[in-house]
Structures are given as C-alpha cells and as structure tokens.
Structure 1
Amino acid sequence: MSTTTHPTLDELRAEAMEWGSRPRRFGSWYVTEHMVRAMRAYGWTIIVGALGQPIMYLLGLAVGLAALIQVPVIDRGHEVDYLVFVAPALLVTAAIAVASEEMTYPVMAGFKWRRYFYGFNASPLASPQIAHGVIAGAAARMFVAVGAYYLFLWIFDLFVETVPSPATGWLAIPAGVAAGLAFGVPLMAYAGSIEDDKGQFALVQRFLFMPMFLFSGTFYPLDTLPVWLQWIGWISPLWHGAELGRIATYGEAVGAGEVVFHVGYLVVLTVLGYLWGRRIFIERLAK
C-alpha cells in the first residue's frame, strides 16, 4: 500500500521564495523579452525599415549625389570619397531613428494607454528593472537595424567602396548603438514624464531629430558650417557616433584622446538619461 507524502510548510515556503526570487534576479530580462515579443506586431515594418532604408539612402547617394560630387571630402586631413564619408553617419542615424520610435510612444503606452508597466510593477519586478528592460529591448532593435545596415555596406563595398578598412569597420556597429542609446535613454525619461500626448513627440522629431540630422556633419564635415551652427553637432550624439564610425571605417590612426572624448560624451548622456529615467519610473509607478 503506497503512501503519499506531502511537502511540509517549510518546503512550500522555500519553493515560493525561490519562484519569487527569480523575477528579482532576472526581472530586467523578462521585461526585455516582453518588449521584443511586442515588436512582432510590427515586425515586418522593422525588417523593411532595417533593410530598405540603407538600400534607398545608399543607392540614392551613390547613383545620385555622389556621382555629382567628384572632389573627395577632406576629413581631419584624410581624403575620402563622398559615399565613404556619409555611410557611417547614415548608419548612426538608423540607430537614432529606432531610438526615437521605441523610446517614445511605447513608453507612454506602458504608463498611460495600455498601462502594462503597472502590471509589471504589481509583480515582484522592481521599477528600475522595468526601465532596464525598456532600454535593453530598444537596444536589441537598434543592433538589428545597425547590423543590417552594416551588412548592406559590406555587400555594397563589393561594387562601390564604402568601408575602406573592413578589419575595424565593424566597430561602427557598437558606435551606432551607443549613439542611439545616448539619444534614446534621455528621450525615454522625457516620455515617461509626459502625462498627456499633446504633440510633444512630433516636436521632438521636428526640432531635435531633424536639426541634428541636418547639422551634425552627416552630409559634410562639421567645420564647413558657420561657427554659430557648429554647436548643434558638438552636442549631438549623432555627430559623436558618426565620428567614431568614421574612425572605424577609415581605419585612420587617431589619438586615444579623441576616441575617449566621443565615447565619454555618449556615456555621459546615457548615464544622465538613465538616472533621470530611473527616478521617473520609480516615482510614477509608486502612484
């Protein structure tokens, strides 16, 4: 005659504590998984945007504008073809465009429209873990977009030189993601602070993203602009990321101080944005 053994109360408590501790250890990754899975709803637009945008931009520049500009661009005393100069900046722009999408309306949806952040917060997940997951999910999409862009650059290089130094050119990928985070993490904090959508994100696109895209040395060296416009590039994560991408794709020997300056600026923007965003998530989810 068999006897059934039942777990003791201490065993049940230990098991419950084990299951409750998992979200505390891996909560950020659970939120990341949710954000990535949610992207499946518009996955085809991500694929088309990641692959179609670089193809259209590079073909347009190579067949159109670059065909008219025969004089090489002088960048830090280094002569490069126009397409070689522009390609790293467009790569970084792809990451920043992703950041402007993933760090605006999805964040506001989590707080206001769908309110799934409050559902996360009702579980053992902590508020900072939710912010971490949002950042990691956006970074994953940035990596896909920038990786696809660089892959096309590598294929395009077989026909028209776009990456003179492929041995170091891949470093443009982390440079692009870093610039995307430097722009996106503060934007996430701003989106989290908004109570009602009154067109704020449209203003960000028109008065932040577009001036940054046009006046950050994307299509011409920054020092060709008047000094009273160069400051836009100096404070822009796009310019700092593009400069890192150009250093990588040119394979040009530069001083360590220049690299540290660009990387440090992107890190500072990301950290400040994270601290602001972390406080916003904690305060707003506590209500």
Structure 2
Amino acid sequence: MTPSAYVLEYHLVNYRRTWRASALSTLVLPLLTMLGFGLGVGGYVQADVDGAAYLDWIVPGLIASTAAQTALGEASWPVLSGFEWLKVYFAQATAPLRPGDILGGHLAFMMFRVLISVAAFLLVASTFGALHSFWALAVLPLSVLIGLAVAAPMVAYTASISSDSYLPIMFRFAVLPMSLFSGVFFPIESLPGPLRWLAYALPLWHGVDLTRAATLGRALGPAGLWHVLYLLLWCAAGWFLARRRFQRRLVF
C-alpha cells in the first residue's frame, strides 16, 4: 500500500463507525429533491427544456450539484478539524507521512463519499425513469472529476484559515451562487451576458453539461473534451495550492 492509501484506510475505518448517521440522508435527500424540484417545480413547466422534459433535464444538474456539494462539505469542516480541533493531520505528520500523502489520502476519501452520494442519486433517478442512456454510468467517474475540481481548491482555502467563521462566508458568496448560476435549475442562456460568462468560468457548469449529455445520451463532441480539460485544470490548480498549504502548516 502507498502512504496515501494508509491515510485513506484511516478515514474509511472512521467512516465504518459513523456511516449509519449519513445513510438515511444519502437516500432520502435525492428522493426529496426529485419530488420537490423534478415533479413539484416540473409540474409547472409544461414546455420541454432544450428538447427534454424538465424532470429529465434537471436530474443531471442535480446529480452534478450533489457531487459538488458533497465534496465541498467534506473539504470544509472536516479539513479544518484536522488542523484546528482534532489535529489529526499533525498526528499523521509525525508518522512517516508527507503532507502530500495526507492530502491525497483525504481527497481520495472525499471522492469515495462523492461516489456513494451520486450512486444513490442515480438509483433514485432510475426509479423515476429519468435516465435515458447507458452512458448514464459515465456519471460515476464524471462525479469524481467534478468533486475533485471543487474539493481541491476548497481544501486549499480551508487549510488557509484558522476559524470556521470563514467557511459560511465561502458558502454564502461563492458556493451558493455557483449552485444557482451553473445551469442546474435553468439554462444559463437565460442569464445576462456577464453572469453567463461567470457561469462558464465556474467548474460546476462544465460538470453539469457533461452529466446532462451522459444521462440524455447526447454527444458533445469537442466541447466535451474542453469540459474535461477545464475540470482537470481546476483539479491540478487546487491540488497545487492545497499541497502548499499543507506543507506550510505541517512541516516545521
């Protein structure tokens, strides 16, 4: 096993003791989301959206948003806890583990949590008949890409603060707007020009477009490659910044 794998094992062992606390919400939240947004709001949307029924159109956006929200949740308070409260990172750093090993193992666990959440959402969505292609299975690796693209920069931010009072600021002024203006609930073409370009710059819109193409069985062509490369850029930049912050805080 690699050093990062041992860190991942540590988080998995902890999760084995606490998974019951999140198991119900992992299944119930997708169901409530499908009922509330897909059927509730969708019941008032009579026309198709981009050639698809509103339920079928919104489900991939909700899946991508779930991947991002799960990753951001795991990359915020748990990471701050590792530095400030439980100080698990410092304990791991006293073992023969480098900051990159600690970061890599924890990010791997975050992607594990993303996979579980998205798999549950896919299961619920399939019961509503909202998946129209075998390419929907590609949503699982895509969710990891989406999750890492937002989790790595978030870890870098969390590793730069010393109080959790800064986390609500990030969620209120960055995460919430990203969730609202990334094509999850309505096409970004309806946004004014400046907001539309902001959506293009955010990683979630690229994930939403990829996920929507997969669940609806649509080909994106060169645009799909652009989406993937842009998300990989966010992953690489986030990893670089997060590793620098871990190095500064854990190496004396």
Fold shared per TM-score above 0.5: yes
* Cross-structure match for 2:143: 176
* Separation of aligned partners in 1, 2:220 and 2:167: 38
* Cross-structure match for 2:158: 191
| Partner secondary structure for residue 57 of structure 2 | helix
* Cross-structure match for 1:15: none
1:127 paired with 2:116, answer: no
* Cross-structure match for 1:7: none
Task: Output the aligned Cα RMSD.
Answer: 1.4
* Separation of aligned partners in 1, 2:217 and 2:39: 25
Match of 1:37 among 1, 10, 13: 13
* Identity percentage of aligned residues: 32
Within a 5 Å distance, the mapping from 1:251-262 to structure 2 comes to 251-255=217-221, 257-262=222-227
1:212 paired with 2:178, answer: yes
* Cross-structure match for 2:3: 27
Residue 42 (structure 1) shift: 4.1
Residue 206 (structure 1) shift: 0.8
* Separation of aligned partners in 2, 1:238 and 1:49: 23
Greater RCO, CA 8 A, separation 6+: 2
Match of 1:136 among 103, 108, 114: 108
Contact 1:127 1:282 in 2 (8 A): yes
Residue 217 (structure 1) shift: 0.9
AA aligned to 2:135 is T
Within a 5 Å distance, the mapping from 1:1-287 to structure 2 comes to 26-40=2-16, 42-74=18-50, 79-157=51-129, 162-165=130-133, 167-194=134-161, 196-197=162-163, 199-255=165-221, 257-287=222-252
TM-score for both structures, normalised by structure 1: 0.84
Structure 2: gaps (5+ residues): none
| Partner secondary structure for residue 193 of structure 1 | coil
Flag as ranges the 4+ runs of structure 1 deviating above 6 A: none
Residue 40 (structure 1) shift: 4.2
| Partner secondary structure for residue 132 of structure 1 | helix
* Separation of aligned partners in 2, 1:197 and 1:33: 27
Contact 1:146 1:177 in 2 (8 A): no
Deviations for 1:160-203, whole angstroms, at most 9, x for unmatched residues?
Answer: xx1122x1111122222211110111100111121x21511101
Contact 1:95 1:146 in 2 (8 A): yes
Structure 1: gaps (5+ residues): 1-24
Contact 1:176 1:242 in 2 (8 A): no
AA aligned to 2:176 is M
Contact 1:89 1:238 in 2 (8 A): no
AA aligned to 2:244 is R
Residue 61 (structure 1) shift: 2.5
* Separation of aligned partners in 1, 2:181 and 2:17: 34
Residue 52 (structure 1) shift: 1.2
When Rg is computed on C-alpha atoms for both structures, the one with the higher figure is: 1
Contact 1:28 1:133 in 2 (8 A): yes
* Separation of aligned partners in 2, 1:114 and 1:140: 22
TM-score for both structures, normalised by structure 2: 0.95
**Distance change in 2, residues 1:163/1:41 (3 Å):** same
Contact 2:77 2:164 in 1 (8 A): no
Contact 2:153 2:242 in 1 (8 A): yes
* Separation of aligned partners in 1, 2:210 and 2:31: 22
Deviations for 1:68-116, whole angstroms, at most 9, x for unmatched residues?
Answer: 1110012xxxx10111111001001111111121111111111121111
Tell me the number of residue pairs that the alignment of Structure 1 and Structure 2 aligns.
252
* Separation of aligned partners in 2, 1:63 and 1:259: 29
AA aligned to 1:150 is L
AA aligned to 1:272 is A
* Separation of aligned partners in 1, 2:49 and 2:139: 19
